[in-house]
């Protein structure tokens, strides 16, 4: 399945954070979502074969990387209090297959 690390993280406003994800083997599409408490996940961006392939309504301080070894990263610079949320990584076999999610990283910004 999809695994994410760390499971929980506490950062201070203004800091930078890197969240990591390991996709299911052979999945070439990775998407990242932000889920605020009590809400549905919101699409941040998607990577396909190591290239960004679509972005939601998130500022440039949210960036990502996808690597050939089924791993990917979400980086957030200049953290704000409102960035506190559950960050979900999801992967799919291809662009026409359903997304499968990891259990997320709970980020708290103080």
Partner 1 sequence: GESVGLHLPTLSVQEGDNSIINCAYSNSASDYFIWYKQESGKGPQFIIDIRSNMDKRQGQRVTVLLNKTVKHLSLQIAATQPGDSAVYFCAENIGAGGTSYGKLTFGQGTILTVHP
5 forms part of the interface with partner 1 (CB under 8 A): no
Q: How many secondary structure helices (H) and strands (E) does the chain include? A: 0, 11
Contacts of 56 (CB under 8 A, 6+ apart): 42, 43, 44, 45
Name which of 65 and 77 has its Cβ closer to partner 1: 65
Name which of 9 and 48 has its Cβ closer to partner 1: 48
42 forms part of the interface with partner 1 (CB under 8 A): yes
Closest approach, Cβ 51 to partner 1, in A, equals 12
Phi/psi at 83 (nearest 5 deg)? -80, -10
108 forms part of the interface with partner 1 (CB under 8 A): no
20 forms part of the interface with partner 1 (CB under 8 A): no
Q: How far is CA 36 from CA 27, 70, 81, in A?
A: 26, 26, 12
72 forms part of the interface with partner 1 (CB under 8 A): no
64 forms part of the interface with partner 1 (CB under 8 A): no
């Amino acid at each position: 399945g999809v695994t994410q690390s760390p499971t929980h993280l506490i950062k201070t406003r203004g800091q930078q954070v890197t969240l990591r994800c390991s996709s299911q083997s052979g999945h070439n599409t990775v998407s990242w979502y932000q889920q605020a408490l009590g809400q549905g996940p919101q699409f941040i961006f998607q990577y396909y074969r190591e290239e960004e392939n679509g972005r939601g309504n998130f500022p440039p301080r949210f960036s990502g990387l996808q690597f050939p070894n089924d791993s990917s990263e979400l980086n957030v610079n200049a953290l704000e209090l409102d960035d506190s949320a559950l960050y979900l990584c999801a992967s799919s076999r291809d662009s026409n297959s359903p997304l499968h999610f990891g259990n997320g990283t709970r980020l708290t910004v103080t």
